[in-house]
Structure 1
Amino acid sequence: MEETISLRELFHTLKKRLWLIVLIMVVAATVSSVISFFVLTPIYQSSAQILVNQAKSEKDLYNTGEIQTNIQLINTYSVIIRSPKILNKVKEELNFPGTVGELQNKIAVASEKDSQIIALTVEDPNPSMAMKVANKTAEVFQRDIPSIMSVDNVTILSKATLGEKPSPIKPKPLLNIAIASVVGMMIGVGLAFLLEYLDNTIKSEQDVEQVLGLPVMGVISIIDDETSKETMSNSIDTVVRRDSVGV
């Protein structure tokens, strides 16, 4: 019985403060949409793939040890790709307006699991610049790695391309609005229960019983002006009739 009453009170509180919950949700979704569409800068992504593979002879078509060595070299290559020695040349050849540090922050290097392929990913507000940086970095790395490590086992597997209508990878307005709405709803529900908890006014006979611990013997109904006038009129009629009967 206690659980049923508690559950009923729970829904009653949510229903009573529903306008507050909806208001906070709408405000949160509106703020999120404004920030996503008008404040945040769209970021585009472009990727190139690099293959780390030693040239094979006819007698040595498959060498497991060499493949394992190439996979281990990928970690070293990932550091070299983002090093100033490579990025300084990329900056000069592209006439990149920013610093080498800014260029480095735009580039991410990752290797496919258990493979000899390196994915070189560039993020930039300009989709064309993201493509150019990715391709130029792969090109400079392939050209300079023989002189850096005395090896020639790097091939550009695929270049970055620019689609007809490139779409930004972030921000994602719909996702941001959905998250903001859920967070707003959670805040609204929490605020509704907080306001209900802080509200210590007595509104019903149940509140009287809970506060005083005494049973309610009777309830005085609220009488509005029209009901009061009608009751008084009926009382006057009754008195007049009694007087007439007495006469």
Structure 2
Amino acid sequence: MEETINLKELFQALKKRLWIIVLITTVAATISSVISFFVLTPMYQSQAQILVNQAKSDQQLYNSGEVQTNIQLINTYNVIITSPTILNQVINDLNLNMTVDELTEQIEVTSAKDSQVVEVTVQNESPRMAVEIANTTAKVFKNQISEIMNIDNVNILSPAVMKEDMSPVSPRIKLNIAVGIAIGLIISSIIAIVLHYLDNTLKTEQDIEQILELPVIGVITNIKDVPKATVRQTEPIGRAQRTRGETFGS
């Protein structure tokens, strides 16, 4: 006999084990909330912008080829910014208690396509330290790049600024809780459906008709289902009949 799966049966399976779904989803949401509030460290973000401009010239105010060359050099600048040469100087200037690798993990260098602007983004558990690292990295890079590549076409376009209302960029608590709820719903639904199809017992006459495809002729009522009031009423009648029988016999 082929077994077919239909939406109505799946819905009934989920409805029958709704308590499992609610329980697992609640546990998943609680775990994600606890991790977001008490385990993950809040991280603050700050950003400084560096402009790679064309070299000044008295004979030529604008040279498109020179601008294109500066754009092509940005990828090289991105690597240099996070190099030990720059970051070691940043660590010394700020007296940071971390290695170059640890500082590199906090810094992200990006640039828009066909743009001469390089963005130095720093994430740190301290908002003030994030601002200081971003500005110091941009400053050290500006000062060192002339010695490294023998050029002088880098300026700090926009330094990082310390704001009074800086909010952490991570963890994203609402998103984490939503993800926890979604994962809980998926896992609990799968468990409910699996339990439904692993349960091959027949519990009702409807199960017999649907699974065995046999008609139900009759149903034997469980003695536990008989109301107690009915039992109490029958007991006095029996005692009265026995009393009358004893009287006639005597």
TM beyond 0.5: yes
Q: Which position in structure 1 is the counterpart of 2:109? A: 109
Summarize the Cα distance change of 1:182–1:127 in structure 2 as closer, same or farther, 3 Å threshold: same
Match of 2:170 in 1: 170
Corresponding position: 1:18 with 2:37? no
- Corresponding residue for 1:218? 218
Which ranges in structure 1 are unaligned for 5 or more consecutive residues? 240-247
- Residue-by-residue CA offset, 1:86-109 (whole Å, 9 max, x unaligned): 111111111111111211221111
**Structure 1 residues 228 and 12, CA, compared in 2 at 3 Å: closer, same or farther?**
farther
Which residue in 1 is equivalent to 2:55? Answer: 55
Percent pairwise identity: 56
What residue is the counterpart of 1:229 in the other structure? Answer: 231
How far apart in 1 are the matches of 2:64 and 2:176?
47
Distance 1:23 1:202 in 2: 26
Aligned partners of 1:176 and 1:112: how far apart in 2? 29
| Cα distance, 1:77–1:30 mapped onto 2, change above 3 Å | same
Q: Is the 8 A contact 1:142 1:156 kept in 2?
A: yes
The alpha carbon displacement at 1:114 in A equals 1.3
Alpha-carbon contact 1:54-1:152 (below 8 Å) kept? no
Superposition deviation, residue 173 in structure 1: 0.8
User: Distance between the aligned counterparts of 2:79 and 2:55, measured in 1?
Assistant: 23
Check 1:228–1:7 CA distance in 2 against 1; reply closer, same or farther (3 A cut): farther
Matches within 5 A, 1:30-41: 30-41=30-41
Shift in CA distance, 115/219, structure 1 to aligned 2, threshold 3 Å: same
CA separation in 2, counterparts of 1:86 and 1:138?
9
Aligned to 1:82: 82
Cα distance in 1 for partners of 2:213, 2:55 equals: 90
What CA distance in whole angstroms lies between the structure 2 residues aligned with 1:227 and 1:209? Answer: 33
Provide TM-score, normalisation by structure 1. Answer: 0.87
Worse overlay, 151-160 or 199-208: 199-208
Alpha-carbon offset, residue 208 of structure 1: 2.2
Check conservation: 1:25, 1:184, Cα contact below 8 A. yes
Greater CA drift, 209-218 or 29-38: 209-218
Q: Post-superposition shift, 1:32?
A: 0.6
Aligned to 1:244: none
Q: 1:224 is matched by which residue type in structure 2?
A: V
Measure, in 2, the Cα distance between the counterparts of 1:83 and 1:134: 15
Provide closer, same or farther for how the CA distance between residues 17 and 234 of structure 1 changes in structure 2, counting only shifts above 3 A.
farther
Q: Residues 7 and 220 from structure 1, CA distance in 2 versus in 1: closer, same or farther, beyond 3 angstroms?
A: farther
Q: Deviation above 6 Å: which 4+ runs of structure 1?
A: 233-236
Corresponding residue pairs, total:
236
- Structure 1 residue 202: deviation in Å? 1.0
Q: 1:146-161 maps to which residues of 2 (within 5 A)?
A: 146-161=146-161
Q: Distance in 2 between matches of 1:145 and 1:8?
A: 69
Deviates more, 1:96-105 or 1:200-209: 200-209
Rounded to whole Å, the distance in 2 between the matches of 1:81 and 1:150 is 16
Aligned to 1:134: 134
Per-residue CA distance 1:31-90 (angstroms, 9 max, x = gap): 111110001111111110000012343542322111110000000000111111111111
- TM-aligned CA distance change 1:235 to 1:208, over 3 Å: farther
Asked whether the 8 Å contact 1:42–1:169 carries over to 2, the reply is yes
